[in-house]
């Protein structure tokens, strides 16, 4: 009879552990989704910044290699 009670206790602990792990997994999945969204936003901002920098570089006058060396 004590073996049956021990088994029941182990099953109860396993069920509790399963529920705890399930909640932890849900929290981690939510955190991954949040971090992924943040990463995507940062990538988008980086691409926009690169585009602005490229546009500014195109507006700079062309470098004249001979003008600096003729002095």
As a dihedral over the C-alpha atoms of residue 39, residue 41, residue 47, residue 51, rounded to 10 degrees, the angle is -160
Within a domain: 60: no
pLDDT digits (tens, 9 = 90+) for 10-20: 999 999 999 99
Within a domain: 65: no
Looking at residue 58, its pLDDT comes to 94
Within a domain: 61: no
What residue ranges of the chain have pLDDT lower than 50?
Answer: 71
Within a domain: 68: no
Residue 70 CA to residue 53 CA, distance in Å, equals 31
Within a domain: 25: yes
Within a domain: 6: yes
How many structural domains is the chain composed of? 1
Write out the residue range of the structural domain in which residue 16 sits: 2-55
Within a domain: 14: yes
Give the global pTM. Answer: 0.65
Looking at residue 59, its pLDDT comes to 93
């Amino acid at each position: 009879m004590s073996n049956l009670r021990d088994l029941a206790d182990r099953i109860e602990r396993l069920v509790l552990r399963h529920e705890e792990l399930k909640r932890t997994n849900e929290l981690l999945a939510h955190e991954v989704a949040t971090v992924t969204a943040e990463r995507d936003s940062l990538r988008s901002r980086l691409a926009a910044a690169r585009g602005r920098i490229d546009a500014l570089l195109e507006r700079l006058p062309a470098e004249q290699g001979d003008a600096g060396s003729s002095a």
